Amino acid sequence: MVDKQTPPEVDRAAASRKAVAARRARASLKRDIATRVVSPQEVLRRADTDSLSPAGTLRITDFLTALPAIGESKRERILAELGISNVKRLAGLGVRQRRALDTWLEGRFPEPRPRGARSRLIVLAGPTAVGKGTVATHIQEHHPEILLSVSATTRTPRPSEVDGQHYFFVDDAGFDDLIARGELLEYATVHNAHRYGTPRAPIDKALAEGRTVLLEIDLQGARQVREAAPDATLVFLLPPSWDELVQRLVGRGTEDDEERARRLRTARVELASQHEFDYRVVNADVAEAAREVVELAQASSRAS
């Protein structure tokens, strides 16, 4: 008996070859997205232009997980936030969904500015107690190839801190000297209390050697770096919520009540400036946040 539903053998073979080729093209596109050969915004534009192209037929789920630092659970959260069903393909997005996705991408992965690529200088800033130090230390432990800058400060060392390793502890006159000799890339008075600054020489040396350099500094410092080195990559570390930030500050127990209140006031102001940054990373889990920062750093250095 002849089955009318089944296409002849040759058609089926050709269709299956076509399907394999299309899958390969999509896999290659995903690699390009992951390695930043193509910007995600560009992929969306291609999907708009040609709905049958690899971009147009790419599933939204595959598209999102190809992006740096997006895992499955984060992907589902993003889709819910943007009101997009996880069975959609890029060419099948509605106008509003398309716009929402574009805006989200631009906030998270801004397209390179015309003036050129970003350097290997990464600034990690964020509100007090968000865990910048912990994330930076995690990166230092797992990525010795990345130089974590050691700042100079006028504050006194905590019991566990080692001079030259955690900070260079200097007195006021010593700090004035560093400024006068132009040895600091940036410096600021933090929490209205002590001065902190980033020594310039080790950074210049490491960058010249092609290394990635990470600065863990406050917001005023980040702004100065943007001025002094406009191609630096600025990353803002966010707490999962304000309540969580307060918990972390209380839990740390290193500050008295007055100091804690002062730092929380600073944190509120600092949170409001997150949109000045190139990228925002939520610190819900230290290892995950560290991984995201390293991926952003690697993406920046690949682009340069």
Distance CA 64, CA 34 (A): 10
Is residue 79 within 8 A of residue 101, CB to CB? The reply is no
Give the separation between CA 116 and CA 163, rounded to whole angstroms. 38
| Residue of 59, 74, 88, 155 that binds ligand 5GP (CB under 6 A) | 155
Burial class of residue 272, CB neighbours in 10 A (0-12, 13-18, 19+): exposed
Is 277 a binding residue for ligand 5GP by CB under 6 A? The answer is no
Side chain identity at 231, as an amino acid letter? Answer: D
Strands laid side by side in the 194-199 sheet: 167-169, 151-153, 194-199, 184-190
From 33, 105, 122, 216, residue interacting with ligand 5GP (rule: CB under 6 A): 216
175 belongs to the binding site for ligand 5GP (CB under 6 A): no
Subset of 52-111 contacting ligand 5GP (CB under 6 A)? none
Considering CB under 6 A, how many residues would be counted as binding ligand 5GP?
15
Q: How near is the Cβ of 195 to ligand 5GP at its closest, in Å?
A: 8
Q: Find, among 153, 183, 174, 177, the residue nearest to 165 by Cα.
A: 153
> Closest separation between CB of residue 186 and ligand 5GP, Å?
6
Shortest Å distance, C-beta 177 to ligand 5GP: 16
C-beta separation of 146 from 211 below 8 A:
yes
Residue 292 lies near ligand 5GP (rule: CB under 6 A) = no
Within 100-139, the residues that bind ligand 5GP by CB under 6 A are: 128, 132
By the 8 A CB rule, do 30 and 254 touch? no
Helix (H, G, I), strand (E, B) or coil at 61: helix
Should residue 190 be labelled a site residue for ligand 5GP when binding is judged by CB under 6 A?
Answer: yes
State yes or no: residue 220 binds ligand 5GP (CB under 6 A): yes
Position closest to ligand 5GP via CB: 221
DSSP 157: P
Using CB under 6 A as the binding rule, whether residue 221 contacts ligand 5GP is answered as yes
Q: Which contiguous run of DSSP H or E holds residue 18? A: helix 9-34
Q: Is 218 in the site for ligand 5GP (CB under 6 A)?
A: yes
By CB under 6 A, tell whether 188 contacts ligand 5GP. Answer: yes
Closest separation in Å from C-beta 144 to ligand 5GP = 20
Binding site for ligand 5GP (CB under 6 A): 128, 132, 151, 155, 186, 188, 190, 196-198, 216-218, 220-221
